[in-house]
Chains A and B, each alone.
Chain A
Amino acid sequence: MIRFLLGKLAYLIPTFIGITIVAFGFVRLLPGDPVLLMAGERGISPERHAQLSAQLGFDRPLVVQYLDFIGGLFQGDFGTSLATRRPVLGEFLTLFPATVELSVCAIILATLIGIPLGIFAAIKRGSAFDQVSMGAALVGYSMPIFWWGLLLIILFSGILGWTPVSGRIDLLYFFRNGTGFMLIDSLMSGQKGAFTSAVSHLILPSIVLATIPMAVIARQSRSAMLEVLSEDYVRTARAKGMSAWRVVGVHALRNAMIPVITTIGLQIGVMMAGAILTETIFSWPGVGKWMIDSISRRDYPSVQGGLLLIAAVVMIVNLIVDLLYGIINPRIRHS
């Protein structure tokens, strides 16, 4: 198992180097000049522009800027935001709990609904349940997130008035020295109604963010379960006189979960991209919204640092998924 882990860790190093190049290069490919954007509508004289560019280091060759960026990373310095003048890492860590909270709720929702849906669809293959659920999954997968989010806001917030439109909690509540995770902070604060308010704010963004991963997980669960149900060892389990529940829920499920876990890991990466849109729609103060703001301001350090940190999170999540894969599948663990 340790060798398996070391093998996986070895893959991370070249991946991480690749991501630093992409993160650094991507933001510089965007049209627009950060110095001009900082100056705003007033404009800026060529002398002042050159002075600011030199001050921010943008006048140096790209290779030197990149090496400077890498050198900073080794010291834990992800740069300083051009817009706020605060360290990028600090900003990221302040906003990150909001994104984690939303993403965790969304992936739990996607998994808890997607897996049973896919499994029942496989067991009832060709039935009305199979057709309807997989049809719904296809619709969910094809639905643009921003449009789906707006529809839900119009229905549940606008017409029915059941959920708040945006934010993480009602303005009535305030927590000092919190963890950044609103569900935990509201629960620990003991303030009446705080937790309910935090939950009600999470519902719509979680549903929106969970929709595409849920559809993917449901379809993957169905196809994996269908494949496994035709395996010889499933027939053996039935020949041993095991109940249908045990055959499906123990013998087939464990094997079917192997590709589904990989899919869930990949969906967490997709979810980070989805979080950018969802957080913007619901004014959710997380990393996604911060990234959008930083891109529109051409805040190079924030964008490249943010991209790198998000990529690092996705890589760590995928490493955990790989380890889970090894635990659930003994053939991988022992290979």
Chain B
Amino acid sequence: MALLEIRNLNVSFDTSSGPFHAVKGLDLTVHEREVLAIVGESGSGKSVSMLAAMGLLPKSAKVTADVLQFQGRDLLTMSDKERRSIVGREISMIFQEPIASLNPCFTVGYQIEEVLRAHLGLGRNERRKRAIELFSAVGIPDPEKRLSSYPHQMSGGQCQRVMIAIAIACKPRLLIADEPTTALDVTIQKQILDLLMTLQEDTGMGMIMITHDMGVVAETADRVIVKYKGRMMEQADVLTLFEAPSHPYTKALLSALPEHATGDRLSTVSDFLDPATLQEGPL
């Protein structure tokens, strides 16, 4: 059985100039031990589609889907309480801005122990012990001391490690990483990606990696979905996508990679393709 199955997901927001369709007809399936990358430029609806699956969009968002299931359980029709028992425990999510994603008024220890108490009902000593184990697992030095630190006392990379520790605290079956390295230094990006991949391999969880970085896709993903303006352009395994992309947008996206640049100007997608003439949706 698939971990997450989505068929014909649509997300729209009411605006003063009428409804804005952020996601149009998304289909995806993620299995255990699989890494699915969702790639696309800003505003392509990558994050919104996953926030919709997690139930984290504001009430102003209108979410519809033919199928939106986690391990066969319908995420659209279940009660809030039932969803909360899945979100944070069986499906976890980490975000782009690690420092802003942690509450500045609470110690990181409090923020990880909160999950352990809410989902696993662990006692005080057990929570602390488990939190130290988790901090060690994600490579935070001196974990016992770090539990009493506030987010502003830690670097971006360390905060992202804390976020990862919180995300894996309840041994989730699916981890959604929403551009987890975008806000980090290049050297830290590599460390965080290695950590995520090691954890994924060790635990066998499924992972959805949202990114606009084709390098990250090449390094981490088994399968890739390419999105543009809310629509899915192409879905393929990672080798096929890089070696024989079928959609003109994917080809343009790959051609616009910095390593293909010639002269003193970096290429953009519009150098290879007129977005106005782009056929929306998979070919």
Measured CB to CB, the residues of A under 8 A from B are 231-233, 235-244, 246, 251, 254-255, 328-331, 334
Residue in contact with A328 in the complex, picked from B84, B97, B105, B119, CB distance below 8 Å: B105
| In the complex, residue of chain B having the shortest beta-carbon distance to the beta carbon of A330 | B150
Query: What is the distance, in angstroms, from B39's C-beta to the closest C-beta of chain A?
Result: 22
Query: What is the distance, in angstroms, from B221's C-beta to the closest C-beta of chain A?
Result: 22
Residue in contact with B103 in the complex, picked from A233, A239, A243, A328, CB distance below 8 Å: A233
Whether A251 lies near B152 (C-beta < 8 A) is no
Tell me, yes or no, whether B101 is within 8 Å of chain A by CB. yes
Query: What is the distance, in angstroms, from B37's C-beta to the closest C-beta of chain A?
Result: 20
9 pairs from A and B in contact (CB 8 Å cutoff): A232-B97, A232-B101, A235-B101, A236-B95, A236-B163, A237-B103, A241-B89, A244-B80, A254-B105
Question: What DSSP secondary structure best describes chain A's contact surface?
Answer: helix
Query: What is the distance, in angstroms, from B52's C-beta to the closest C-beta of chain A?
Result: 13
The number of residues on chain B lying at the interface, defined by a beta carbon within 8 Å of a beta carbon of chain A, is 29
Tell me, yes or no, whether B54 is within 8 Å of chain A by CB. yes
- Please report which residues of chain B, range 83-128, place their CB below 8 angstroms from some CB of chain A when the two chains form the complex: 84-89, 92-93, 95, 97, 100-106, 114-115, 118-119
Query: What is the distance, in angstroms, from B156's C-beta to the closest C-beta of chain A?
Result: 13
Query: What is the distance, in angstroms, from B48's C-beta to the closest C-beta of chain A?
Result: 12
- B51-91 CB mask vs A (1 if < 8 Å, else 0) is 00010100000000000000000000000100011111100
- B1-21 CB mask vs A (1 if < 8 Å, else 0) is 000000000000000000000
Chain B residues with Cβ below 8 Å from A254 are: 103, 105-106
Q: A329-B105, A331-B150, A331-B152 are in contact. Are A235 and B56 (CB under 8 A)?
A: yes
Query: What is the distance, in angstroms, from A43's C-beta to the closest C-beta of chain B?
Result: 66
Alpha-carbon distance between A331 and B54 when the two chains are bound, in angstroms: 31
Whether A231 lies near B118 (C-beta < 8 A) is no
Alpha-carbon distance between A331 and B100 when the two chains are bound, in angstroms: 13
Tell me, yes or no, whether B205 is within 8 Å of chain A by CB. no
Tell me, yes or no, whether B166 is within 8 Å of chain A by CB. yes
Residue in contact with B56 in the complex, picked from A231, A239, A243, A331, CB distance below 8 Å: A239
Chain B residues with Cβ below 8 Å from A236 are: 95, 101-103, 163, 166
Tell me, yes or no, whether B153 is within 8 Å of chain A by CB. yes
Query: What is the distance, in angstroms, from B158's C-beta to the closest C-beta of chain A?
Result: 16
Whether B105 lies near A241 (C-beta < 8 A) is no
Chain B residues with Cβ below 8 Å from A251 are: 103, 106
Residue in contact with B152 in the complex, picked from A231, A238, A334, CB distance below 8 Å: A334
Whether B95 lies near A331 (C-beta < 8 A) is no
Q: A231-B100, A331-B150 are in contact. Are A240 and B166 (CB under 8 A)?
A: yes
- Please report which residues of chain B, range 143-171, place their CB below 8 angstroms from some CB of chain A when the two chains form the complex: 150, 152-153, 163, 166
Alpha-carbon distance between A242 and B110 when the two chains are bound, in angstroms: 13
Chain A residues with Cβ below 8 Å from B84 are: 241-243
Chain B residues with Cβ below 8 Å from A244 are: 80
Chain B residues with Cβ below 8 Å from A329 are: 104-105
Alpha-carbon distance between A242 and B54 when the two chains are bound, in angstroms: 13
| In the complex, residue of chain B having the shortest beta-carbon distance to the beta carbon of A253 | B105
Residue in contact with A232 in the complex, picked from B54, B85, B95, B106, CB distance below 8 Å: B95
Measured CB to CB, the residues of B under 8 A from A are 54, 56, 80, 84-89, 92-93, 95, 97, 100-106, 114-115, 118-119, 150, 152-153, 163, 166
Query: What is the distance, in angstroms, from A231's C-beta to the closest C-beta of chain B?
Result: 7
| In the complex, residue of chain A having the shortest beta-carbon distance to the beta carbon of B54 | A239
Residue in contact with A330 in the complex, picked from B56, B80, B152, CB distance below 8 Å: B152
Chain B residues with Cβ below 8 Å from A331 are: 104, 150, 152
Chain B residues with Cβ below 8 Å from A238 are: 56, 87
Chain A residues with Cβ below 8 Å from B102 are: 233, 236
Chain B residues with Cβ below 8 Å from A235 are: 56, 95, 101
Chain A residues with Cβ below 8 Å from B92 are: 239
Alpha-carbon distance between A298 and B16 when the two chains are bound, in angstroms: 61
Whether A239 lies near B152 (C-beta < 8 A) is no
Query: What is the distance, in angstroms, from A312's C-beta to the closest C-beta of chain B?
Result: 31
Chain B residues with Cβ below 8 Å from A243 are: 84
**15 additional A-B residue pairs with CB within 8 Å, beyond A235-B95, A238-B87, A330-B150:** A232-B95, A232-B97, A238-B56, A239-B88, A240-B118, A241-B115, A241-B118, A242-B84, A246-B118, A255-B103, A328-B105, A329-B104, A329-B105, A330-B152, A331-B150
| In the complex, residue of chain A having the shortest beta-carbon distance to the beta carbon of B59 | A125
Whether B153 lies near A233 (C-beta < 8 A) is no
| In the complex, residue of chain A having the shortest beta-carbon distance to the beta carbon of B150 | A330
Chain A residues with Cβ below 8 Å from B166 are: 236, 240
Chain A residues with Cβ below 8 Å from B88 are: 239-242
Chain A residues with Cβ below 8 Å from B115 are: 240-241
Whether B118 lies near A242 (C-beta < 8 A) is yes
Alpha-carbon distance between A129 and B51 when the two chains are bound, in angstroms: 28
Alpha-carbon distance between A12 and B166 when the two chains are bound, in angstroms: 44
Alpha-carbon distance between A240 and B100 when the two chains are bound, in angstroms: 15
Alpha-carbon distance between A244 and B87 when the two chains are bound, in angstroms: 13
| In the complex, residue of chain A having the shortest beta-carbon distance to the beta carbon of B102 | A233
Whether A241 lies near B104 (C-beta < 8 A) is no
Query: What is the distance, in angstroms, from A193's C-beta to the closest C-beta of chain B?
Result: 46
